[in-house]
Amino acid sequence: MTFRRPLALAATSVVVLAACGGDEEATLTGYQRDPAPDVSEITLPDIETGDEVALRADEGELLAIYFGYTHCPDFCPTTMSDLRLALRRMDEDEADRVDVAMVTVDPDRDLEILPEYVGGFFEDGIALGTTDAAALATAAAPFGATYNVQTNDEGEIEVAHSTALYVVDDEGKLVLTWQFGVEIDELKNDLEILLDGYSA
């Protein structure tokens, strides 16, 4: 049997921002680091095209990034499903400004099937992966994403990985981290606040 164990990350915090166009305060549920890590120079291969993809959003948009794997029985599909539902609850114009990428931490098994897996959740989802262990580690480090893949004595593959979901802006800044278990409406609200910030 194949299984995985989640690795805990730092606890989330609540950040308060001025709401666009008013005096009310908009509260972010996700965790923000100060200063925000810059991941704009990091690239990983798009599994479908082979092109190197920079881990930053297009202008005026956001990029949600998740480090996981296709054989994950629980955390990965739950996170992808929750994000999909959050985007569906947003106005279509706003949802279209959020791209989603999944980076596999299990490339030996995932490179051929990750695009189909991601596409099952997001029509335009981006499947990223590399068998270059150093490149993957370099990409994961500034996010604080951790993972470990090994084969046990019975020949079964065991995968442990952190379960956070990340948001990168169009400057390549890691602007928000959600821990596993965040509510769908909290995902939606945070994304709307961040998108509103572009026009503030």
- Residues tagged in the binding site annotation for Cu cation: 72, 76, 161
SS3 assignment, position 4 = strand
Instruction: Give the annotated binding-site residues.
Output: 72, 76, 161
Name residue, tokens 């690239």: 43
What CA–CA distances, in Å, run from 150 to 97, 105, 106, 141, 156?
A: 37, 11, 10, 19, 8
How many beta carbons lie within 10 A of that of residue 102, not counting itself? 28
Q: Which helix (H) or strand (E) holds 170?
A: none
What CA–CA distances, in Å, run from 87 to 14, 119, 125, 168?
A: 21, 15, 13, 16
The number of residues making up the chain comes to: 200
Q: Give the span between the Cα atoms of 168 and 139, in whole angstroms.
A: 13
Q: Give the span between the Cα atoms of 114 and 134, in whole angstroms.
A: 20
